[in-house]
């Protein structure tokens, strides 16, 4: 028998509604230059953690990971994540060093796009706040710095 067991990969930009959403980073930096602060290990998105965002959607202030939904996700081509490809192709690198990311072993983007996507990943925000919500989101991010290593 030759069939290898299919590897389970995780989305590095999962929504809060995902079955099991784990927070692995907190968005820092400025509204026009976000800079993800990576947690030393992922933590579950609990109601308490959501409430720290104080009315701001978790996707605006956290990066979360959850099992890749593959065919159920609009970004999946059938064999790979097109969002990861677009980000690698269109975003400039924001670092030349691998970020201290705790989910690399299971990250779909890394598995498919290699280190090039990691050099862009700190600038990715899952949901960019509307202009009117940018000031509250920035305030929430400042408060959330307490979570960062």
Instruction: Please give the residues from 18 up to 47 whose contact with ligand SF4 meets the rule CB under 6 A.
Output: none
Q: Quote the CA–CA distance of 117 and 84 in Å, as a whole number.
A: 7
If you search the block for the tokens 């104080």, which residue do you land on? 54
Instruction: Please give the residues from 83 up to 102 whose contact with ligand SF4 meets the rule CB under 6 A.
Output: 99, 101
**By CB under 6 A, residue 64 contacts ligand SF4:** no
Of 54-62, 68-76, 107-115, 137-145, the window that binds ligand SF4 (rule: CB under 6 A) is 107-115
Q: How far is the CB of 5 from ligand SF4 (least distance, A)?
A: 22
149, 40 contact by CB (below 8 A) = yes
**Near ligand SF4 by CB under 6 A: residue from 64, 103, 137, 140:** 103
What SS3 class is residue 25? strand
What are the two backbone dihedrals, phi and then psi, of residue 33, each rounded to the nearest 5 degrees?
-150, 70
Could you tell me how many residues of this chain bind ligand SF4 (CB under 6 A)? 11
Q: Quote the CA–CA distance of 12 and 43 in Å, as a whole number.
A: 14
Q: How far is the CB of 118 from ligand SF4 (least distance, A)?
A: 3
List the beta bridge partners of residue 30: 33
Q: How many residues does the chain have?
A: 149
Q: Quote the CA–CA distance of 97 and 115 in Å, as a whole number.
A: 9
**By CB under 6 A, residue 109 contacts ligand SF4:** yes
**Near ligand SF4 by CB under 6 A: residue from 50, 88, 110, 141:** 110
16, 59 contact by CB (below 8 A) = yes
**Near ligand SF4 by CB under 6 A: residue from 53, 117, 123, 140:** 117
Contacts with ligand SF4 by CB under 6 A lie at 12, 99, 101, 103-104, 107, 109-110, 117-118, 121
């Amino acid at each position: 028998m030759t069939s290898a067991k299919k590897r389970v990969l995780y989305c590095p930009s999962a929504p809060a509604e995902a079955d099991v959403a784990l927070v692995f980073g907190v968005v820092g930096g400025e509204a026009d230059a976000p800079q993800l602060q990576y947690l030393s290990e992922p933590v579950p998105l609990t109601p308490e953690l959501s409430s720290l965002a104080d009315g701001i959607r978790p996707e605006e202030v956290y990066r979360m990971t959850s099992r890749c939904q593959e065919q159920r996700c609009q970004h999946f081509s059938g064999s790979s994540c097109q969002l990861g490809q677009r980000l690698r192709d269109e975003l400039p690198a924001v670092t030349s060093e691998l970020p201290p990311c705790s989910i690399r072993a299971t990250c779909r983007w890394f598995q498919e796009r290699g280190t090039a996507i990691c050099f862009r990943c700190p600038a990715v925000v899952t949901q960019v706040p509307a202009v009117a919500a940018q000031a509250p989101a920035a305030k929430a991010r400042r408060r959330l710095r307490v979570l960062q290593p």
